[in-house]
């Protein structure tokens, strides 16, 4: 479920990103559950462009890329990140153990996207607030390299970690632009059934996911240590 934040994003496509098509997905050892690997990046990640009620999509972005600037990440440590594991009623981004990856680090990046096909056709505000009719996918990804962090926060200005990382890590041919007023890229960290779950193993190579969507879609970026 997406974080409900209204923000202004740069809707242009990135010009300096390239994908190395040779062994592009070599870092993925296995996928299980409701997830599909795209051999090529999609043309657009706009709402209702790449949809499935039952599949989370993953595709490769930059490979063996040396960061020009430091990148803000929202999840930086192994653990089980889900509201039921957090103390207190108010969940904050700080509970996800944010951090940054310094400039000069060589990384690989993967982008994940879940946009259900059906919910908007039968939208009901009462169902929305009572967690009725949401769509959920569950998946496990095993990487050959350790995960340095996950970027999932969208917002205004410096808080838009996901959008701000597009220029550095995105693919030139992909339209990452979102409808700023209603589509809300990023991930929700609120309590209850509208929340998503991320489990990063101690060796940082296995990522277990649960994503929920309704009228919005989920988008996040996984950063790996490169050779």
Q: Tell me, what's the pLDDT at 15?
A: 37
* Residue 96: per-residue pLDDT: 81
Please tell me the total number of residues recorded for the chain in this structure: 227
* pLDDT (tens place) for every residue of the chain, 227 residues total: 433 332 223 333 433 334 444 455 779 999 999 999 999 999 998 888 899 999 999 999 999 999 999 999 999 999 988 755 555 545 567 778 899 999 999 999 999 999 888 876 667 777 777 777 788 899 999 999 999 999 988 777 777 888 889 999 999 999 886 544 345 567 766 555 667 889 999 999 999 999 888 777 889 999 999 97
Token pair belonging to 115: 């946009």
- Residue-wise burial string across 62-79, b where 16 or more C-beta atoms lie within 10 A, e elsewhere: bbebebeeebbbbbbebe
pLDDT of 145 = 96
| Residue found under tokens 């970690």 | 161
Task: Pick the closest to residue 45 from 131, 113, 93, 107 (CA basis).
Answer: 113
**Alpha carbon of 179 to those of 1, 5, 60, 95, 226: distances in Å?**
16, 12, 23, 28, 33
User: Cβ distance 56 to 34 under 8 Å?
Assistant: yes
Q: What is the per-residue pLDDT for 218?
A: 87
């Amino acid at each position: 479920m997406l974080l409900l934040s209204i923000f202004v994003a740069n809707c242009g496509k990135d010009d300096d990103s390239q994908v190395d098509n040779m062994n592009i997905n070599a870092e993925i050892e296995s996928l299980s559950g409701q997830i599909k690997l795209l051999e090529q990046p999609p043309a657009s990640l706009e709402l209702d462009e790449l949809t499935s009620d039952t599949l989370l999509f993953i595709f490769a972005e930059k490979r063996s890329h040396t960061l020009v600037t430091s990148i803000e990440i929202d999840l930086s440590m192994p653990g089980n990140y889900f509201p039921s594991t957090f103390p207190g009623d108010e969940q904050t981004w700080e509970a996800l153990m944010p951090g940054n990856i310094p400039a000069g680090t060589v990384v690989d990046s993967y982008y994940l996207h879940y946009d259900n096909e059906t919910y908007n056709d039968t939208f009901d505000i009462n169902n929305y607030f009572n967690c009725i009719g949401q769509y959920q996918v569950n998946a496990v990804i095993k990487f050959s390299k350790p995960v340095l962090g996950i970027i999932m926060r969208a917002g205004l200005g410096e808080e838009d970690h996901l959008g701000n990382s597009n220029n550095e890590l995105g693919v030139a041919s992909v339209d990452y632009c979102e409808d700023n007023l209603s589509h809300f890229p990023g991930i929700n960290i609120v309590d209850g059934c509208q929340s998503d779950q991320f489990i990063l193993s101690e060796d940082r190579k296995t990522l277990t996911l649960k994503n929920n969507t309704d009228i919005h879609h989920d988008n996040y970026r996984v950063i790996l240590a490169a050779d």
